[in-house]
A and B are shown apart, each in its own frame.
Chain A
Amino acid sequence: MADSNHHIVPYKTYVLILLLLLTLTSISVAVTQVQLTKWATPVALLIATVKSSFVLAVFMHLKFDHPVYKRMAILIFLLLVVVIIITFLDYAFR
Protein backbone atom coordinates (compact mmCIF):
# COMPACT_ATOMS: atom_id res chain seq x y z
CA MET A 1 0.00 0.00 0.00
CA ALA A 2 2.52 2.57 1.14
CA ASP A 3 3.43 3.46 -2.42
CA SER A 4 4.92 6.82 -1.51
CA ASN A 5 7.12 5.33 1.16
CA HIS A 6 9.17 3.44 -1.38
CA HIS A 7 9.96 6.40 -3.54
CA ILE A 8 13.17 8.04 -2.39
CA VAL A 9 13.54 11.54 -3.82
CA PRO A 10 17.23 12.30 -4.51
CA TYR A 11 18.81 15.22 -2.61
CA LYS A 12 19.69 16.81 -5.94
CA THR A 13 16.01 17.25 -6.86
CA TYR A 14 15.40 19.20 -3.66
CA VAL A 15 18.45 21.42 -4.24
CA LEU A 16 17.34 22.20 -7.79
CA ILE A 17 13.82 23.09 -6.62
CA LEU A 18 15.27 25.34 -3.90
CA LEU A 19 17.45 27.18 -6.43
CA LEU A 20 14.39 27.63 -8.64
CA LEU A 21 12.35 28.98 -5.69
CA LEU A 22 15.11 31.42 -4.69
CA THR A 23 15.41 32.65 -8.29
CA LEU A 24 11.63 33.15 -8.56
CA THR A 25 11.65 35.09 -5.26
CA SER A 26 14.40 37.38 -6.56
CA ILE A 27 12.50 37.94 -9.79
CA SER A 28 9.31 38.88 -7.95
CA VAL A 29 11.23 41.30 -5.69
CA ALA A 30 12.94 42.86 -8.72
CA VAL A 31 9.71 43.20 -10.71
CA THR A 32 7.78 44.85 -7.88
CA GLN A 33 10.60 47.13 -6.67
CA VAL A 34 11.39 48.54 -10.11
CA GLN A 35 7.67 49.18 -10.68
CA LEU A 36 7.96 49.58 -14.40
CA THR A 37 4.48 48.45 -15.23
CA LYS A 38 1.03 48.05 -13.75
CA TRP A 39 1.60 44.34 -14.25
CA ALA A 40 3.88 44.11 -11.19
CA THR A 41 1.03 42.98 -8.90
CA PRO A 42 -0.36 40.19 -11.14
CA VAL A 43 3.21 39.05 -11.92
CA ALA A 44 4.08 38.85 -8.20
CA LEU A 45 0.92 36.82 -7.48
CA LEU A 46 1.53 34.57 -10.48
CA ILE A 47 5.09 33.90 -9.28
CA ALA A 48 3.76 33.13 -5.76
CA THR A 49 1.34 30.61 -7.31
CA VAL A 50 4.12 28.97 -9.34
CA LYS A 51 6.36 28.81 -6.26
CA SER A 52 3.68 27.18 -4.11
CA SER A 53 2.97 24.67 -6.90
CA PHE A 54 6.61 23.55 -6.80
CA VAL A 55 6.51 23.26 -3.01
CA LEU A 56 3.31 21.21 -3.20
CA ALA A 57 4.52 18.99 -6.04
CA VAL A 58 8.08 18.22 -4.93
CA PHE A 59 8.65 19.17 -1.27
CA MET A 60 5.22 17.86 -0.27
CA HIS A 61 5.58 14.84 -2.58
CA LEU A 62 2.25 15.30 -4.40
CA LYS A 63 4.03 14.46 -7.64
CA PHE A 64 5.19 11.08 -6.32
CA ASP A 65 2.33 10.16 -3.97
CA HIS A 66 -0.95 8.40 -4.61
CA PRO A 67 -2.99 10.73 -6.90
CA VAL A 68 -5.81 11.06 -4.34
CA TYR A 69 -3.80 13.67 -2.37
CA LYS A 70 -3.13 15.72 -5.49
CA ARG A 71 -6.80 15.62 -6.56
CA MET A 72 -7.94 16.78 -3.14
CA ALA A 73 -5.38 19.61 -3.08
CA ILE A 74 -6.52 20.80 -6.53
CA LEU A 75 -10.16 20.75 -5.37
CA ILE A 76 -9.32 22.89 -2.32
CA PHE A 77 -7.52 25.48 -4.45
CA LEU A 78 -10.42 25.51 -6.93
CA LEU A 79 -12.80 26.07 -4.01
CA LEU A 80 -10.72 29.07 -2.93
CA VAL A 81 -10.71 30.45 -6.48
CA VAL A 82 -14.51 30.10 -6.70
CA VAL A 83 -14.98 31.91 -3.37
CA ILE A 84 -12.62 34.69 -4.50
CA ILE A 85 -14.49 35.10 -7.81
CA ILE A 86 -17.90 35.18 -6.09
CA THR A 87 -16.67 37.73 -3.54
CA PHE A 88 -15.34 40.06 -6.23
CA LEU A 89 -18.42 39.65 -8.43
CA ASP A 90 -20.40 40.81 -5.42
CA TYR A 91 -18.14 43.85 -4.94
CA ALA A 92 -18.06 44.71 -8.64
CA PHE A 93 -21.82 44.69 -9.16
CA ARG A 94 -23.35 45.92 -5.92
Chain B
Amino acid sequence: MSATTVTHEEHRDDIASKLGMWLFIFTELLLFGGLFIVYSVFRHGNLEAFNLAAQHLDVKVGTINTFILLISSMTIAMSTTSIQKKDKRTTLILIAITVALAIAFLVNKYFEWGHKIHDGLYPGSDVLAELGRGDTLFFGLYFFMTGLHALHIIIGMTFLIVIFFRVRKEHITHDNFQLLENGGLYWHLVDIIWIFLFPLFYLITL
Protein backbone atom coordinates (compact mmCIF):
# COMPACT_ATOMS: atom_id res chain seq x y z
CA MET B 1 0.00 0.00 0.00
CA SER B 2 1.53 3.29 -1.05
CA ALA B 3 1.29 6.36 1.10
CA THR B 4 -1.01 8.11 -1.35
CA THR B 5 -3.79 5.52 -1.15
CA VAL B 6 -4.10 5.35 2.61
CA THR B 7 -7.73 5.61 3.59
CA HIS B 8 -9.12 6.08 7.03
CA GLU B 9 -11.19 3.07 7.95
CA GLU B 10 -13.48 3.49 10.90
CA HIS B 11 -12.82 0.88 13.54
CA ARG B 12 -16.06 -0.37 15.00
CA ASP B 13 -17.15 -3.49 16.83
CA ASP B 14 -20.83 -3.40 17.68
CA ILE B 15 -20.90 -6.92 19.13
CA ALA B 16 -18.06 -6.17 21.55
CA SER B 17 -19.68 -2.84 22.43
CA LYS B 18 -22.97 -4.49 23.30
CA LEU B 19 -21.23 -7.33 25.16
CA GLY B 20 -19.34 -4.78 27.24
CA MET B 21 -22.58 -3.00 28.08
CA TRP B 22 -24.20 -6.26 29.15
CA LEU B 23 -21.21 -7.20 31.35
CA PHE B 24 -21.50 -3.81 33.04
CA ILE B 25 -25.25 -4.34 33.49
CA PHE B 26 -24.53 -7.70 35.18
CA THR B 27 -22.25 -6.02 37.73
CA GLU B 28 -25.05 -3.52 38.41
CA LEU B 29 -27.57 -6.33 38.86
CA LEU B 30 -25.25 -8.03 41.36
CA LEU B 31 -24.73 -4.74 43.22
CA PHE B 32 -28.48 -4.21 43.67
CA GLY B 33 -29.03 -7.96 44.11
CA GLY B 34 -26.68 -7.81 47.12
CA LEU B 35 -28.67 -4.90 48.54
CA PHE B 36 -31.93 -6.79 48.05
CA ILE B 37 -30.45 -9.65 50.08
CA VAL B 38 -29.43 -7.23 52.85
CA TYR B 39 -32.99 -5.87 52.82
CA SER B 40 -34.52 -9.38 52.96
CA VAL B 41 -32.30 -10.48 55.83
CA PHE B 42 -33.07 -7.39 57.94
CA ARG B 43 -36.75 -7.63 57.06
CA HIS B 44 -36.69 -11.28 58.16
CA GLY B 45 -35.30 -10.20 61.55
CA ASN B 46 -37.54 -7.12 62.03
CA LEU B 47 -40.76 -8.16 60.33
CA GLU B 48 -43.20 -6.12 62.37
CA ALA B 49 -41.20 -2.89 62.30
CA PHE B 50 -40.59 -3.21 58.54
CA ASN B 51 -44.28 -3.74 57.82
CA LEU B 52 -45.31 -0.76 59.94
CA ALA B 53 -42.55 1.43 58.49
CA ALA B 54 -43.52 0.50 54.93
CA GLN B 55 -46.97 1.97 55.58
CA HIS B 56 -45.32 5.42 55.86
CA LEU B 57 -44.50 5.26 52.15
CA ASP B 58 -46.97 6.72 49.69
CA VAL B 59 -48.19 3.91 47.42
CA LYS B 60 -49.77 6.45 45.05
CA VAL B 61 -46.50 8.30 44.40
CA GLY B 62 -44.68 4.97 44.07
CA THR B 63 -47.23 3.72 41.53
CA ILE B 64 -47.04 6.95 39.50
CA ASN B 65 -43.24 6.69 39.44
CA THR B 66 -43.48 3.06 38.33
CA PHE B 67 -45.77 4.08 35.46
CA ILE B 68 -43.40 6.92 34.52
CA LEU B 69 -40.40 4.59 34.35
CA LEU B 70 -42.27 1.90 32.40
CA ILE B 71 -43.45 4.42 29.81
CA SER B 72 -39.95 5.92 29.52
CA SER B 73 -38.57 2.41 28.99
CA MET B 74 -40.98 1.96 26.08
CA THR B 75 -40.10 5.31 24.47
CA ILE B 76 -36.35 4.61 24.57
CA ALA B 77 -36.93 1.08 23.22
CA MET B 78 -38.96 2.62 20.37
CA SER B 79 -36.06 4.94 19.50
CA THR B 80 -34.00 1.91 18.33
CA THR B 81 -36.84 1.13 15.93
CA SER B 82 -37.13 4.69 14.62
CA ILE B 83 -33.37 5.08 14.09
CA GLN B 84 -33.34 1.87 12.03
CA LYS B 85 -36.20 3.27 9.98
CA LYS B 86 -33.95 6.31 9.30
CA ASP B 87 -36.49 8.50 11.09
CA LYS B 88 -34.19 10.97 12.86
CA ARG B 89 -36.99 13.32 13.95
CA THR B 90 -38.99 10.61 15.75
CA THR B 91 -35.77 9.28 17.34
CA LEU B 92 -34.97 12.71 18.77
CA ILE B 93 -38.54 13.17 20.02
CA LEU B 94 -38.52 9.73 21.70
CA ILE B 95 -35.20 10.39 23.45
CA ALA B 96 -36.47 13.82 24.58
CA ILE B 97 -39.66 12.26 26.01
CA THR B 98 -37.56 9.69 27.88
CA VAL B 99 -35.38 12.42 29.43
CA ALA B 100 -38.50 14.45 30.34
CA LEU B 101 -40.00 11.40 32.08
CA ALA B 102 -36.70 10.86 33.93
CA ILE B 103 -36.92 14.43 35.22
CA ALA B 104 -40.55 13.87 36.25
CA PHE B 105 -39.45 10.79 38.22
CA LEU B 106 -36.75 12.79 40.01
CA VAL B 107 -39.17 15.62 40.83
CA ASN B 108 -41.55 13.11 42.42
CA LYS B 109 -38.65 11.57 44.31
CA TYR B 110 -37.59 15.03 45.55
CA PHE B 111 -41.02 15.75 47.03
CA GLU B 112 -41.29 12.25 48.43
CA TRP B 113 -37.93 12.47 50.19
CA GLY B 114 -38.68 16.02 51.33
CA HIS B 115 -41.89 14.81 52.92
CA LYS B 116 -40.08 12.00 54.77
CA ILE B 117 -37.34 14.33 55.96
CA HIS B 118 -39.98 16.85 57.10
CA ASP B 119 -41.55 14.07 59.19
CA GLY B 120 -38.16 13.41 60.76
CA LEU B 121 -37.77 10.05 59.02
CA TYR B 122 -34.17 10.28 57.84
CA PRO B 123 -31.01 8.39 58.84
CA GLY B 124 -29.68 9.65 62.17
CA SER B 125 -32.83 11.51 63.17
CA ASP B 126 -34.18 11.63 66.73
CA VAL B 127 -37.59 10.37 65.59
CA LEU B 128 -36.04 7.19 64.16
CA ALA B 129 -33.89 6.71 67.25
CA GLU B 130 -37.08 6.66 69.32
CA LEU B 131 -38.87 4.31 66.94
CA GLY B 132 -36.13 1.72 67.34
CA ARG B 133 -33.86 -0.57 65.39
CA GLY B 134 -36.33 -1.94 62.81
CA ASP B 135 -37.49 1.48 61.62
CA THR B 136 -33.91 2.79 61.57
CA LEU B 137 -32.91 -0.14 59.35
CA PHE B 138 -35.93 0.24 57.08
CA PHE B 139 -35.44 3.95 56.45
CA GLY B 140 -31.66 3.59 56.21
CA LEU B 141 -32.13 1.00 53.47
CA TYR B 142 -34.95 3.02 51.88
CA PHE B 143 -32.80 6.15 51.53
CA PHE B 144 -29.70 4.24 50.46
CA MET B 145 -31.38 2.03 47.85
CA THR B 146 -33.76 4.59 46.34
CA GLY B 147 -30.89 7.13 46.51
CA LEU B 148 -28.53 4.80 44.64
CA HIS B 149 -31.33 4.17 42.14
CA ALA B 150 -31.93 7.92 41.71
CA LEU B 151 -28.19 8.32 41.08
CA HIS B 152 -28.56 5.74 38.30
CA ILE B 153 -31.48 7.76 36.89
CA ILE B 154 -29.26 10.86 36.80
CA ILE B 155 -26.40 8.95 35.12
CA GLY B 156 -28.77 7.31 32.60
CA MET B 157 -30.40 10.66 31.86
CA THR B 158 -26.99 12.28 31.22
CA PHE B 159 -26.06 9.35 28.95
CA LEU B 160 -29.31 9.84 26.98
CA ILE B 161 -28.74 13.60 26.65
CA VAL B 162 -25.29 12.91 25.14
CA ILE B 163 -26.92 10.39 22.78
CA PHE B 164 -29.58 12.95 21.83
CA PHE B 165 -26.91 15.37 20.56
CA ARG B 166 -25.00 12.60 18.80
CA VAL B 167 -28.17 11.62 16.94
CA ARG B 168 -28.78 15.26 16.05
CA LYS B 169 -25.24 15.64 14.66
CA GLU B 170 -25.77 12.31 12.83
CA HIS B 171 -22.91 10.58 14.62
CA ILE B 172 -25.56 7.99 15.43
CA THR B 173 -27.34 6.80 12.30
CA HIS B 174 -29.47 3.93 11.01
CA ASP B 175 -26.35 1.78 10.39
CA ASN B 176 -24.39 2.95 13.42
CA PHE B 177 -26.64 3.09 16.47
CA GLN B 178 -24.94 0.82 19.01
CA LEU B 179 -24.44 3.74 21.40
CA LEU B 180 -28.16 4.47 21.32
CA GLU B 181 -28.95 0.82 21.99
CA ASN B 182 -26.44 0.75 24.87
CA GLY B 183 -28.03 3.87 26.36
CA GLY B 184 -31.39 2.12 26.08
CA LEU B 185 -30.02 -1.01 27.77
CA TYR B 186 -28.78 1.08 30.69
CA TRP B 187 -32.17 2.79 30.95
CA HIS B 188 -33.99 -0.55 31.02
CA LEU B 189 -31.64 -1.71 33.79
CA VAL B 190 -32.75 1.31 35.85
CA ASP B 191 -36.34 0.28 35.11
CA ILE B 192 -35.77 -3.35 36.19
CA ILE B 193 -34.20 -2.26 39.49
CA TRP B 194 -37.24 -0.06 40.20
CA ILE B 195 -39.59 -2.94 39.32
CA PHE B 196 -38.15 -4.75 42.36
CA LEU B 197 -37.65 -1.72 44.63
CA PHE B 198 -41.30 -0.70 44.28
CA PRO B 199 -42.98 -3.83 45.73
CA LEU B 200 -40.25 -4.36 48.34
CA PHE B 201 -40.51 -0.89 49.88
CA TYR B 202 -44.00 0.35 49.02
CA LEU B 203 -46.29 -2.63 48.60
CA ILE B 204 -45.26 -5.34 51.02
CA THR B 205 -46.84 -4.48 54.36
CA LEU B 206 -48.02 -7.88 55.40
Residue pair B78, A69 in contact (C-beta under 8 Å): no
Minimum distance in angstroms from B153 CB to a CB of chain A: 16
User: Interface 1/0s, chain A 65-91, versus B by CB < 8 A?
Assistant: 110110011001101100110011001
The residue on A at minimum CB distance from B38 is A87
Q: Which residues of B contact A5 (CB under 8 A)?
A: 14, 84, 175, 177-178
Given A8-B85, A59-B73, the answer on whether A32 and B37 have CB atoms closer than 8 Å is no
Residues of chain B at interface, number, CB under 8 A: 44
By a CB distance below 8 angstroms, the chain B residues around A56 are 188, 192
Q: How far is it, in angstroms, between the C-alpha of A10 and the C-alpha of B40 when the chains are bound? A: 39
Number of residues in A with C-beta < 8 Å to the partner?
50
Interface members, chain A 1-47 (any B CB < 8 Å): 1-2, 4-5, 8-11, 14-15, 17-18, 21-22, 25, 28-29, 32-33, 35, 38, 40-41, 44-45, 47
Q: What's the A-B contact tally at a CB cutoff of 8 Å?
A: 118
- A59–B77 contact, CB under 8 A? yes
| Residues of B contacting A14 in the complex (Cβ-Cβ under 8 angstroms) | 74, 77-78, 81
Task: Offer 21 A-B interface pairs, CB within 8 angstroms, sorted by A.
Answer: A1-B14, A1-B15, A5-B178, A11-B78, A14-B74, A14-B77, A18-B73, A25-B70, A25-B198, A29-B59, A32-B203, A32-B205, A40-B203, A41-B204, A52-B196, A55-B191, A55-B195, A72-B26, A76-B26, A84-B37, A91-B44
Query: Contact residues of A with B, CB < 8 Å?
Result: 1-2, 4-5, 8-11, 14-15, 17-18, 21-22, 25, 28-29, 32-33, 35, 38, 40-41, 44-45, 47-48, 51-52, 55-56, 58-61, 65-66, 68-69, 72-73, 76-77, 79-80, 83-84, 87-88, 91
Q: Across chains A and B, which 4 residue pairs bring their CB atoms closest together, nearest first?
A: A32-B203, A44-B199, A18-B74, A59-B77
